[in-house]
Structures are given as C-alpha cells and as structure tokens.
Amino acid sequence: MAGILAWFWNERFWLPHNVTWADLKNTDEATFPQAEDLYLACPLAFCIFMIRLVFERFVARPCAMGLKIQANGPQKAQPNAILEKVFTAITKHPDEKRLEGLSKQLDWDVRTIQRWFRQRRNQEKPSTLARFCESMWRFTFYLYIFTYGVRFLKKTPWLWNTKECWYNYPYQPLTVDIHYYYVLELSFYLSLLFSQFIDIRRKDFLIMFLHHVATISLITFSYVNNMARVGTLVMCLHDAADVLIEAAKMANYAKCHILCNLLFAVFAILFISSRLGVYPVWILNTTLFESWEIVGPYPSWWVFNLLLILLQILHSFWSYLIVKTACRAISKGKVSKDDRSDIESSSDEDDSPPPNQKHHSSATNGTNKTHGTNGYLTGALYPDEH
C-alpha cells in the first residue's frame, strides 16, 4: 500500500521540476493546499444532499404550490395486464414484430399500443412539481456560489491579469476564501454525481456523468498541485450560465412562457459566448500558453489541460444543442421534440385513451402548440448543467 501511495503521489508527476512536497508543507508564515484538505468534501457532500432534501420539501415545494404547480404526473396508461407484463418483464421499448403480435392478441392497432407504452414509460417520470423543486435547489446554490465567486475574485489580481495565476507558482499561499470556495464546489459536484442516479433521468445521462467526473477531477487536480487561482476563474465562469438555465426551467414549469423565453435567450447568448469565446480565449490561453511561458510543462500540467480541453468539447456539444433548438424554434415557431426530454413527446392524438377495438380511421392531424420554445427547457439542458 505504501508503494502504491508513493507511486501515486510521485513529485515528478504532480509538481514542476525541482519542487518537492516538502517545499509545500504548511509553515507559520504560509499555508499551502494539502490533499487531505479535500477529505472534508465527502461528508460535506452528504450534508449538502440532506440540505437539498429539506430545501425541496420546506422551501421549493411551498413556492411551487404558490405558483399553482401541481404534483400530478403525466397521463397514466389504461390498465392492461398483458401489456403491463410485457413492459415489466420483457421490454419497455417493443420492436415492430412484437408490436404486431400484441396488436393481433389485443385487437388494438399498432399506434395505440405504441401510445400505451409511451404513456406507461412516462408514468415513471417525476412530476412537474418534482422537476421545479430540483431546479429551484440548483438555482439557489448556483446563485449563491456565483455571487460568492464574483465578490471574492473582483478583489484578486489574477481576475484582471491571468499571468498572476503563474507568478511565483507553486509557492502561492492558500487563503481561507479559496479553501472555502474549492471545498464547497467540490462537495456540491460530488453530491450531484451520486444523486444523478436518483434524480430525473435524462437522455444525456452518460454525458452529464462524464461532465461531473471531469469537473471533480479538475477541481481536485488544480487544488492538489496549487493551480487554485486559475481554478477559481474556471468555476466562476461556469456558474454564471448555470444560474440562468435553472431560472428558465423554473419559469417554464410555472408556465411563465414569456419570462421563460427571455431567460432562455439570455442563457443561450451567455452560454455560447462564455464557453466558446471567453473560456478558450481567457482560460485555455492562460493554462496552455501563459503557464508554459512562465512555469513550463510537467506531467500533471498535461493532464490538467487535457481535462480542460475535454470540458471544451462538452461545451461545443451543448452549444450545438442550444443552436439546434433555437433554429428549430425560429423556423417552426415551436420545438417539436425535446433533445433531452423528461416526458416523451407525442402528438395530440396520443392523449386519447386506448380503444377496445382496432381503429381504421386516420388519426387527427395537428401538433401540440402550447409549449413553443419552452418544450426544450423541460429537458433541463445543463452544462450544471447543470
């Protein structure tokens, strides 16, 4: 075990040339980041999760009720023992061959059976009330941590000159503000990582899981090798857009469509400009080029920048989804299908109950036009995302 730990904490990987862990031990004159400082994040993540449960129950839920958001979930599928058995024991997404067999067995048309399975899958999705409470919790945290980050960073020299992130590196003392900022952010993302398995299931579950892992790795990496200054810039930049998307989702769930559209438009502009503009020009420029010039590369420097580039790839993916949705909304006047929908989309005819006999007439034409661009927001686009 000692050999594994010695290998993992190899100074030649984590630190610049001619720097040792002994050089970064705390003294009476200065305090430096220590790996064991982050152990506090694990119990704190559990505390944050418990605070979330209390917040959603006693703060978010009453707010939702005040906005007349109901706890009712999507329309329930008509009880049917045969289809229920297939759904629970065989598959939730029957193929064409199985649909045809069920159609003959029940004397229902295939489209009605497809609608039944869609409604049955939606029954397992959380209600609008649950989604509102989740978004309000995230909005509250992001607003608090973003406000804290801005108030802290505006007093630091590296906000105005990113080269200050690397002067005298790695012998930059750790302040109480940086320590608090890091531990709180890490604890929150740890809580998101584990609660993702019990939260609303998204289509991009794996993408968000990768995002959380990359974020936690970046926070840990930058703290352990004392890249905390640039780390605070990355965290604050990301929290800005997260506040707006959660606010837009809350407006959508409360059916405040004008406010929702306005918030989503501002979010889209801020997200794309900050993640595809400010992030590479400001953050990647200083971590790749200014740090190379002032400090020089070393093994963990490469890993850190690789993670930052991975984050940039995720930014590009989410920006593509935003632009795709905006273009669809402009061209069609609505969003026909949510790329990350919590509730599977369907036409108006899908809301009618299944018949007892086959329908030979064609379905009523038309699409649901009540949601407009808000349909996208029910999918909870995150970069926090989240």
Q: Per-residue pLDDT tens for 263-300?
A: 999 999 999 999 999 999 999 999 999 999 999 999 99
Chain segment 3-53, per-residue pLDDT in tens: 888 889 999 999 998 999 999 999 988 999 999 999 999 999 999 999 999
Range in 20-24, 174-178, 205-209 with the lowest mean pLDDT: 205-209
Return the higher-pLDDT residue of 214 and 40.
Answer: 40
Average pLDDT score, the chain: 84
What share of the chain in percent tops pLDDT 90? 55
Q: Identify whether the C-beta of residue 255 lies closer than 8 Å to the C-beta of residue 128.
A: no
342-368: average pLDDT: 42
Tokens of 276: 């595809």
- Residue 336: pLDDT band (50, 70, 90) is very low
Q: What is the DSSP string of 272-307?
A: HHIIIIIIIIIIIHIIIIIHHHHT---HHHHHHHHH
Q: Identify whether the C-beta of residue 364 lies closer than 8 Å to the C-beta of residue 138.
A: no
What pLDDT does 362 receive?
A: 39
Residue 112 one-letter amino acid: T
Q: Alpha-carbon distance 376 to 322, whole Å?
A: 9
Q: Cα dist. 262→204, 206, 267, 291 in Å?
A: 25, 29, 9, 39
- Residue 88: pLDDT band (50, 70, 90) is confident
306-325: average pLDDT: 90
Residue 297 has a CB neighbour count (10 Å cut-off) of 13
What pLDDT does 386 receive?
A: 36
Task: Give the ranges where the chain is alpha helix by DSSP (H).
Answer: 2-8, 11-14, 41-55, 61-66, 81-89, 96-106, 110-123, 128-153, 176-195, 205-224, 228-253, 257-273, 285, 291-294, 299-332
Q: Is 144 helix (H, G, I), strand (E, B) or coil?
A: helix
Peptide bond preceding 43: is omega within 30 degrees of 0, i.e. cis?
no
The structure's pTM equals 0.79
CA–CA–CA angle 216, 30, 288 (5° rounding): 45
Q: Cα dist. 153→33, 158, 181, 183 in Å?
A: 18, 8, 11, 16
70-98: average pLDDT: 82
Residue with tokens 């409604």: 119
Q: Looking at the domain that runs over 81-124, which CATH code has it been given?
A: 1.10.10.60
Residue 183 has a CB neighbour count (10 Å cut-off) of 19
Examine the pLDDT at 68 and tell me if it is beyond 80: yes
Q: Identify whether the C-beta of residue 24 lies closer than 8 Å to the C-beta of residue 170.
A: yes
296 backbone φψ class: left, alpha, beta (φ>0; ψ -120 to 50): left
- Residue 74: pLDDT band (50, 70, 90) is low
Q: Alpha-carbon distance 201 to 125, whole Å?
A: 8
Ordered by start, the domain boundaries in the chain are: 24-66+127-332, 81-124
- Residue 93: pLDDT band (50, 70, 90) is confident
Residue 16 one-letter amino acid: P
- Residue 197: pLDDT band (50, 70, 90) is confident
Residues 6+ apart with CB under 8 A from 308: 218, 234, 283, 284, 287
Q: Cα dist. 277→217, 231, 285, 287, 289 in Å?
A: 23, 18, 11, 15, 17
